[in-house]
A and B are shown apart, each in its own frame.
Chain A
Amino acid sequence: MTSESRQRSHRRLAVLAAVFFAFSLILLGRIIYWQVVRRQELLELAELEHYQTRVIPPQRGAILDRRGSLLATDIFQYEIFATPRDLLDPRWTAEQLAPLLERPPEALWALLDREDLSVTLAKQIPLNVGEKIASRGLPGVGAIPLPQRIYPEKELACHLLGFVGAEGDGFYGLEEYYDDILRGEPGSRGGERDPSGLQMIAGYGSYVPAQEGPALALTLDRTIQGLVEENLERAIEEYGAQGGTIIVMDPWTGAILAMASYPRYDPNRFYETSEELFVNPALSEVYEPGSVFKPVTIGAALDTGEVTPETTYNDTGSILVGGQVIANWDWGARGETTVSELLRYSLNVGAATMSTKIGAEKFYRYVQRFGFGEPTGVDLAGEVSGIVKTPGDAQWHECDLGTNSFGQGISVTPLQMINGMAAIANGGLLMKPYIVQRIVREEGVVEIEPVVRRQVISPETARQLTQILVEGVKQGVAELAYVEGYSIAAKTGTAQIPIPGGYDPTWTIASIVGWAPADDPRFIILVNIDKPQAAPWGATVAAPVFKSLAQQLFDYLGIPPDEVRLARE
């Protein structure tokens, strides 16, 4: 071999070695990539091949009323499915399933005789039927238990509860507000499988039980809620109204005892319901309150010390504020009138006189202190703030000082209205309304304490206002709310409904807010009847509803008439 050919041979060998070396490097790189960089991923993939995990869906926490009655809970219903390729005989399987699923065998056979990987045969199958199917062990047929939200009281308190959608998410009311708490923790069940997919008993397995969501015990009383809904429905029928809202609260704590609106819906069948019915009008819709707002104006005037209940003004039947003429509801002029009489006979001129007397700055400061124009902070989804225009706002006009004094040109929610009035009932404290009394977890119970937001007016002002309102029920415009033997403080209102360019000439919202016993209230009630046909006035439509409900509450809560109660004390 010549030296030239030897050199050529060495070069070839060197090239070959280099190629081998390069390949070795690539291989080494790939080995490092798969064995080190993507090790975990491969391990997980390998595990999936022989290890299967099934998620155990958690039960959503129950919702109970203050006495432990169930308002919402989860039950289990089965979803039945089949994997056609694993079926022994589709026709035979269909015949076996037909009587259990109460469906003709032909219909099932049509579903089973397919090439699909998996077919859903039935949903929402009752527990006993689902378990029967699961226990039969039909090859290629599976049954999965899935939690299903259910409301045993059906329409009762529907706006307050909300509902749970098909994917398990809470919508509206408590279900939405407490969604994260209620939904619980899913569990899992896993085990090694053999090549045919069957679980290996001796193999590695795991079981983590699902954790049920905490239960919510409400301040709501199911019986009071029932009475409220009964009264509301009857009133709407009797007065030919289009809707309405009633709220009952404990004025001392802000605890909501009942909250109902009409029309109602069944949360078990939310999918058949028009979406606008889901909204809770008690806190998600605003209205111009009308004369029920007057105690706020008079409360401000009394609390600033500008007037006393005996202070008089000259009622000429009208007053000009910011270029707008304000007249009394009956177009009458009462001459020399006291502040007490103003409220007793619900005089617009007097209210406007008071608001202009104390001035815009003080008036709106009190309006805001009463909680108008801001959310109450209630633990329910969808609360809105309402609209309070104040000096400085582009849309505020001087005439608003006059109209706002008797509840026009100001938008509030029914919840804000009752909560503001509760501040008068309880001696001047604005409370934060609440509906959940306690959250019951496995590790313990979390008790929700009442929250005082602020002192709105002095206890003395509150007492004076209460006294005036009691007189209004005994001899004034709210006398149809009077229950024999009981001192009741209440104020009626006939709210006009704003439409583009003015107010609706036909329809009103008849309302009343009142509490009893006036000196030591056990409850405060708001009644709003929307667009009553029979009569437009709060005093004739809402006051009798208040009376009927108050009478029932006296009986149910065991509140004796004042004569007996005060003698006992």
Chain B
Amino acid sequence: MLAVLFILASLIGWFYLTQASEVTTTALRLQRLASEREHLRRESAEIRYRIAELENLSRIRERARPLGLGPPQEVEYLYIESEISSAPVEEDDLLSPSGDDLWGRVLSFLQVLLFGQAKSEGTRGASDLTRESMGNESEVEIKR
């Protein structure tokens, strides 16, 4: 009976000590994390300021000058006309296979096989049309 009581008391003691130790360790860790958070907050503010200082307008101006950079002496705007981009696009054109990719080539082959010639012949595929109009669309170019 006495032995059982002794073991029980030891267990309770061990349990209490373990808990107390765990609480202390966690409290210490929390304290360190809070300090670290504060430290990082201060450091982050400092870095943000250093970046802004490096990006300072007058500093950039001073650094740019020796590199030959400065305000443009002359700016010329060119208007480039394009007829292709303004041409209406038919739905069939957009749906027809382009022939560029594997699936398109297979379809073209089947069309030639079945109908003698590809349906899309003489028309532009959607991807061609997009590419072409992108290359030629009305745009204002800035020449400096």
Hey, which bits of chain A sit against chain B, CB under 8 A?
56, 59, 62, 69-70, 73-76, 127, 131, 145, 147, 150, 152-154, 156, 189, 191, 199, 201-203, 205, 207, 209, 222-223, 226, 552, 554-555, 558, 560-561, 563-564, 567-568
Interface hits, B20-70 → A, CB 8 Å:
20, 23-24, 27-28, 30-31, 34, 37-39, 41-43, 45-46, 48-49, 51-53, 55-58
Shortest distance between the CB of A62 and any CB in chain B (Å): 8
Residues in A whose Cβ lies below 8 Å from that of B113: none
Shortest distance between the CB of B142 and any CB in chain A (Å): 7
B66-81: CB near A (< 8 Å → 1, else 0) gives 0000011001011100
The CA-CA distance from A131 to B24 in the complex, in Å, is 26
At the interface, yes or no: B140 with Cβ under 8 Å from chain A?
A: yes
The CA-CA distance from A126 to B56 in the complex, in Å, is 20
- List 26 A-B residue pairs with CB atoms under 8 Å apart, sorted by A's residue number: A59-B41, A62-B48, A69-B55, A70-B51, A73-B48, A73-B49, A74-B45, A75-B46, A76-B42, A76-B45, A145-B38, A145-B42, A150-B49, A152-B53, A152-B56, A153-B52, A153-B58, A156-B57, A199-B31, A202-B24, A202-B27, A223-B57, A554-B75, A563-B79, A568-B79, A568-B138
Shortest distance between the CB of A265 and any CB in chain B (Å): 16
Shortest distance between the CB of B27 and any CB in chain A (Å): 5
The CA-CA distance from A145 to B40 in the complex, in Å, is 13
A555 contacts B71, C-beta separation under 8 Å? yes
B79 contacts A564, C-beta separation under 8 Å? yes
The CA-CA distance from A561 to B41 in the complex, in Å, is 49
A564 contacts B71, C-beta separation under 8 Å? no
Shortest distance between the CB of B60 and any CB in chain A (Å): 9
B24, B42, B78, B140: which has the most chain A beta carbons within 10 Å? B42
A555 contacts B27, C-beta separation under 8 Å? no
A201 contacts B49, C-beta separation under 8 Å? no
B46 contacts A76, C-beta separation under 8 Å? yes
A127 contacts B42, C-beta separation under 8 Å? yes
Q: Dominant SS at the B interface?
A: helix
B30, B49, B138, B142: which has the most chain A beta carbons within 10 Å? B49
The CA-CA distance from A201 to B31 in the complex, in Å, is 8
Residues in A whose Cβ lies below 8 Å from that of B46: 75-76, 127
Selected contact of B30 from candidates A203, A207, A222, CB within 8 Å = A207
The CA-CA distance from A563 to B77 in the complex, in Å, is 10
The CA-CA distance from A261 to B52 in the complex, in Å, is 23
Residues in B whose Cβ lies below 8 Å from that of A222: 57
A207 contacts B34, C-beta separation under 8 Å? yes
Closest to A72 in B: B52
The 9 closest A-B pairs by CB, nearest first: A152-B52, A70-B52, A560-B77, A76-B42, A564-B77, A202-B24, A207-B34, A226-B57, A75-B49
Shortest distance between the CB of A309 and any CB in chain B (Å): 32
Shortest distance between the CB of B138 and any CB in chain A (Å): 7
Residues in A whose Cβ lies below 8 Å from that of B39: 131
Shortest distance between the CB of A234 and any CB in chain B (Å): 13
A189 contacts B34, C-beta separation under 8 Å? yes
B45 contacts A59, C-beta separation under 8 Å? yes
A56 contacts B71, C-beta separation under 8 Å? no
Shortest distance between the CB of A268 and any CB in chain B (Å): 11
Closest to A556 in B: B71
The CA-CA distance from A203 to B30 in the complex, in Å, is 12
Residues in B whose Cβ lies below 8 Å from that of A555: 71-72, 75
B52 contacts A202, C-beta separation under 8 Å? no
Residues in A whose Cβ lies below 8 Å from that of B38: 56, 145, 209
Residues in B whose Cβ lies below 8 Å from that of A75: 45-46, 49
Closest to A566 in B: B79
The CA-CA distance from A567 to B27 in the complex, in Å, is 72
Residues in B whose Cβ lies below 8 Å from that of A567: 79
A145, A152, A153, A568: which has the most chain B beta carbons within 10 Å? A152
B77 contacts A561, C-beta separation under 8 Å? yes
Residues in B whose Cβ lies below 8 Å from that of A558: 142
The CA-CA distance from A207 to B57 in the complex, in Å, is 40
Closest to B33 in A: A207
Shortest distance between the CB of B5 and any CB in chain A (Å): 29
The CA-CA distance from A189 to B34 in the complex, in Å, is 9
The CA-CA distance from A462 to B57 in the complex, in Å, is 38
The CA-CA distance from A203 to B72 in the complex, in Å, is 67
Closest to B39 in A: A131
Shortest distance between the CB of A200 and any CB in chain B (Å): 9
B24, B27, B28, B77: which has the most chain A beta carbons within 10 Å? B77
Residues in A whose Cβ lies below 8 Å from that of B34: 189, 207, 209
Given contacts A73-B45, A191-B31, 6 further A-B contacts (CB under 8 A): A62-B48, A70-B51, A201-B28, A205-B27, A222-B57, A555-B71
